[in-house]
Amino acid sequence: MFSGSMVALVTPLDEAGEVDYAGLASLVEYHIAAGTDAIVAVGTTGESATLTVDEHVKVVLKTLEFANGRIPVIAGTGANATHEAITFSKLFSGTGVAACLSVTPYYNKPTQEGLYQHYKAIAEATELPQILYNVPGRTAVDMLPETVARLARIDNIVGIKDATGDLARVQKTRELCGEDFIQLSGDDATGLDFVAAGGHGVISVTANVAAEDMATMFKLALSGQIDAAREINERLMPLHKTLFVESNPIPVKWAAHQLGLINHGQLRLPLTELSESAQPAVTAALKDAKVLP
């Protein structure tokens, strides 16, 4: 259902901090032209934590409108309150959204049973396919493969975005969940190795600024041309790492602005613009990756 290079799309903001919908339309066209396999709208990279509910819904619906059926759109619907995640999932029912991506609840640190009940409740409240998202570095909770396996038995829970960087989990999850359960990396630095180990693709931050390279790399990898894919990945590796020199999406929005992909690198508080001390490192990574001349 989902494979290849999928972008965790940034949400462009104007100088006043309002959503720049013209800029969003341009980003959608950029990814379609580059061969990106799917767009995740208003995931955590899309600043879901600081958009209002109305903005969140409108950005997803506008992304669908701009895509016009040419590329699948996955809606970010995660929340640390189960009722809120259910509300988002229901709001996108019947809109054309291909799936929902739901991050593990953050801050409140549920148990493994709490995680199971959280996702089970969401899945039972909607017919939309659900993709789990495990990113313990940001949420302070790690959803274990055994919990994923319990959830995989629910019909519309179809896959997981795993940002642990633990490649051993790919085989473990496949053994527990079966080959049809979709495994997507959420860690660009290990994304190619994730696919080489049996994963299906990546939901990528790097793809925001190197969309064509990422699309080509994962097409090669999924067709068995791992060596050719590794050549691209080695060139992109400084970018994979440097885009996290400060909290995501601070560096990638600054980089996208430098490349002219968005009109402003604006973020909403408590996130602030990339520090002057970090800017040379991001510029160097863009040049090393041959993204910036």
| Mean pLDDT, the chain, integer | 97
Residues 6 or more apart whose CB falls under 8 angstroms from that of 223 comprise none
Superfamily, domain 4-225 = Aldolase class I (3.20.20.70)
Kindly tell me if the per-residue pLDDT of 1 is higher than 90.
Answer: no
Going by C-alpha positions, the residue among 78, 89, 75, 106 that lies closest to residue 8 is 75
- Residues 255/209, Cβ–Cβ less than 8 Å: yes
Q: Is 126 assigned a ligand-binding role in the annotation?
A: no
Active site residues: 133, 161
61-75: average pLDDT:
98
pLDDT digit string, tens, across residues 138-185: 999 999 999 999 999 999 999 999 999 999 999 999 999 999 999 999
Q: Is 182 assigned a ligand-binding role in the annotation?
A: no
User: Nearest-5° angle of CA 263, CA 267, CA 270?
Assistant: 170
pLDDT digit string, tens, across residues 184-214: 999 999 999 999 999 999 999 999 999 999 9
- Residues 210/261, Cβ–Cβ less than 8 Å: no
Containing 63, the helix (H) or strand (E) segment is helix 53-67
- Residues 206/2, Cβ–Cβ less than 8 Å: no
Going by C-alpha positions, the residue among 151, 157, 148, 161 that lies closest to residue 126 is 157
Does pTM top 0.95 for this prediction? yes
* Pairing mode of beta strands 201-204, 157-162: unpaired
Alpha-carbon span 89 to 100, nearest angstrom: 7
Q: Which two tokens stand for residue 148?
A: 């994923």
Residues 6 or more apart whose CB falls under 8 angstroms from that of 57 comprise 88, 91, 92
